[in-house]
């Protein structure tokens, strides 16, 4: 099984009706830059973070990923950097 790095991507400038800050957890062969994370998650955030941008990406431990996020489908999460195109989307 491949060893992945885990990261939190923070969205800012959220609609006034939503929470002040939203974040998602991801995994990758490396931690993406802010620009790469925005491109990588562009289609995944439709409906709950549209109009927002990721402004911060922070590496986290796998323990924190399981502790603070819904990881019930973690085996189906996309893996950043698994395809060369991931790093070319920005």
pLDDT digits (tens, 9 = 90+) for 74-85: 999 999 988 766
Q: Which residue has the higher pLDDT, 41 or 19?
A: 41
What is the average pLDDT score of the chain? 83
Give the H/E segment covering residue 68.
helix 62-68
Mean pLDDT across the stretch 22-43?
Answer: 91
> Considering Cα of 58, then 61, then 65, then 68, what sign does the dihedral take?
negative
pLDDT tens-digit map of 37-76: 988 888 777 766 667 788 899 999 999 999 999 999 999 9
- Identify the DSSP state of 87: G
pLDDT of residue 46: 72
């Amino acid at each position: 099984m491949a060893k992945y790095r885990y990261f939190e991507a923070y969205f800012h400038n959220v609609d006034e009706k939503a929470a002040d800050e939203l974040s998602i957890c991801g995994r990758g062969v490396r931690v993406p830059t802010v620009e790469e994370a925005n491109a990588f998650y562009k289609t995944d955030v439709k409906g709950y973070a549209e109009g927002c941008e990721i402004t911060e990406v922070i590496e986290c431990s796998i323990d924190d990923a399981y502790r603070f996020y819904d990881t019930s489908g973690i085996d189906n999460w996309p893996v950043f950097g698994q395809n060369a195109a991931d790093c070319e989307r920005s």
